[in-house]
Structure 1
Amino acid sequence: MMALVPYQESVVPALSKLQNSTASFHFANHDILITQDWRRLGVAAVVWDAAVVLCMYLELGQIELKEKVSIELGAGTGLVGIVAALLGAKMTITDRKPALDFLSANVQANLPTDLQKSVDVSELSWGENLDRYPSEGFDLVLGADIVYLEDTFVPLIQTLKHLCSEATVVLLACRIRYERDTNFLDLLKKWFNVDEVYYNKQRDIHVYKARKHLPRTDF
């Protein structure tokens, strides 16, 4: 999920660093250069701390990625999906339609040609047209800083339920800012076992691992 929020520097001076047109990283033994475009696409087009921390966690090797059928939700710039692909995952990298050209450009610019054939960039608005994606068809689901709009919580959970089997690992990276964030985790726990597996104190980002269980209730 992403929001098309225009950037006005005079209104949000604290975010002025986000006007940088690129952000550079080194993950999976590769230099990665991500294009950012806050003014055109808003929050979907900048790299947030949660994405960086989730990449750090993936590099630790706690989760097997090689040949795993994986999907990233609300990918934005695509950094997490790019790093997962470099670490061997077979990635589907998704976001809403307005962000796809931007997302695809970052993926193509940062993945070697031989890896690009194992990566698919596609449209996914949570809770909509889920039959386009295989039910319980993924080994790994990734999401960085996607828990921030309360109106999206129900469709996000519906999407996770569709994508995940009981064997699927879900990794969500987020900052716990408000009561709504803990409310989402409580909602998630109705259908998933949820554990915190990593915390980056410097960036104040938590990584949660979730595995599907039989629901106690339903929507």
Structure 2
Amino acid sequence: MALLPYDGAMIPELRKFHAASATFHFAKRDIVIRQDWKQLGVAAVVWDAAIVLCTYLELGAIQLQDRTVIELGAGTGLVGIVATLLGGDVTVTDREVALQFLESNLRENIPPDLQTRARATELSWGVNLCRFDPGSYDVVLGADVVYLQETFPALLETLEHLSSERTVILLSCRIRYERDRNFLKMLGSRFVVEKVHYDTEKDVYIYKAQKRTVKEDL
């Protein structure tokens, strides 16, 4: 997806997206993330929702050690990298066009002894989901994946396919428009949803979702 062009010099708060890299400190390591706005647009820059989700994961609110984790719409891979450093066995996913860029950030930031615990693979929401074992992940992560209304049904289908009743889903996002609230209502029709964190500075929410049990649906 491409955004309307703008003059970065005229909008100072957006200049960070033109930087070739951004450095973060999580899991006791410096993480240097390459960015490439000109080639890949929104998929290749670090958004606030990813930073907030990484901070939340580092707090240990959910267990990642030896858990199977999948990240949707991984973009630069920052969230998946942090999840790997915190002990997860992580699959980071995005569209095929972003995979080479995503893989490079994984290689450059995950130490050799953990490389086998992280892999990048193509996943377009709602497409060829049979390639992923249904309900086989302990944790599903998504940062700033709730923003295009036309993708909501496919995103919901993908979350349902990847999750079992034991799966914890964490979605980090800004609630910008009424359509975003509508997605939360859609999510709440299939999952038990609760707000678990709000970053007042960055105006980012984290929602936790888990599949409804048969008993809850009765």
TM surpasses 0.5? yes
Give me the whole-angstrom Cα distance separating, in 1, the residues matched to 2:58 and 2:114.
18
> What residue in structure 2 maps to residue 60 of structure 1?
59
1:112 is aligned to 2:111: yes
Aligned-residue offset at 1:120:
1.3
> What residue in structure 1 maps to residue 148 of structure 2?
149
> What residue in structure 2 maps to residue 170 of structure 1?
169
For residue 8 of structure 1, what is the amino acid of its counterpart?
A: P
Give the 3 Å change call, closer, same or farther, for CA 7–19 of structure 1 in structure 2: farther
> What residue in structure 2 maps to residue 213 of structure 1?
212
> What residue in structure 1 maps to residue 7 of structure 2?
10
Q: Is the 8 A contact 1:6 1:40 kept in 2?
A: no
> What residue in structure 2 maps to residue 101 of structure 1?
100
Q: 1:153-209: per-residue Cα shift (whole Å, max 9, x none)?
A: 000000000000000000000011110110000000011000010111010100000
For residue 98 of structure 2, what is the amino acid of its counterpart?
A: A
* 1:29-108 mapped onto 2 (5 Å cutoff): 29-108=28-107
Aligned-residue offset at 1:118:
1.1
> What residue in structure 1 maps to residue 190 of structure 2?
191
Give me the whole-angstrom Cα distance separating, in 2, the residues matched to 1:17 and 1:91.
27
Alignment: residue pair count: 214
Normalising by structure 1, we get a TM-score of 0.94
For residue 7 of structure 2, what is the amino acid of its counterpart?
A: S
For residue 78 of structure 1, what is the amino acid of its counterpart?
A: G
Q: 1:37-78: per-residue Cα shift (whole Å, max 9, x none)?
A: 001001000000000000000011010000000000000000
1:140 is aligned to 2:139: yes
SS in structure 2 at match of 1:189: helix
Give me the whole-angstrom Cα distance separating, in 1, the residues matched to 2:111 and 2:8.
39
- Structure with more of its chain in helix, by fraction: 2
CA RMSD of aligned residues (A): 1.7
Give me the whole-angstrom Cα distance separating, in 2, the residues matched to 1:20 and 1:13.
15
Give me the whole-angstrom Cα distance separating, in 1, the residues matched to 2:113 and 2:4.
36
Give me the whole-angstrom Cα distance separating, in 2, the residues matched to 1:6 and 1:33.
25
1:179 is aligned to 2:193: no
Give the 3 Å change call, closer, same or farther, for CA 7–183 of structure 1 in structure 2: closer
Give the 3 Å change call, closer, same or farther, for CA 189–12 of structure 1 in structure 2: farther
Q: Is the 8 A contact 1:93 1:121 kept in 2?
A: yes
For residue 213 of structure 1, what is the amino acid of its counterpart?
A: R
Give the 3 Å change call, closer, same or farther, for CA 74–138 of structure 1 in structure 2: same
Aligned-residue offset at 1:11:
8.2
For residue 111 of structure 2, what is the amino acid of its counterpart?
A: P
* 1:113-132 mapped onto 2 (5 Å cutoff): 113-132=112-131
Aligned-residue offset at 1:10:
2.8
For residue 173 of structure 1, what is the amino acid of its counterpart?
A: S
Q: Which runs of 5+ in 2 are unaligned?
A: none
Give the 3 Å change call, closer, same or farther, for CA 12–205 of structure 1 in structure 2: farther
Aligned-residue offset at 1:8:
3.2
For residue 142 of structure 1, what is the amino acid of its counterpart?
A: L
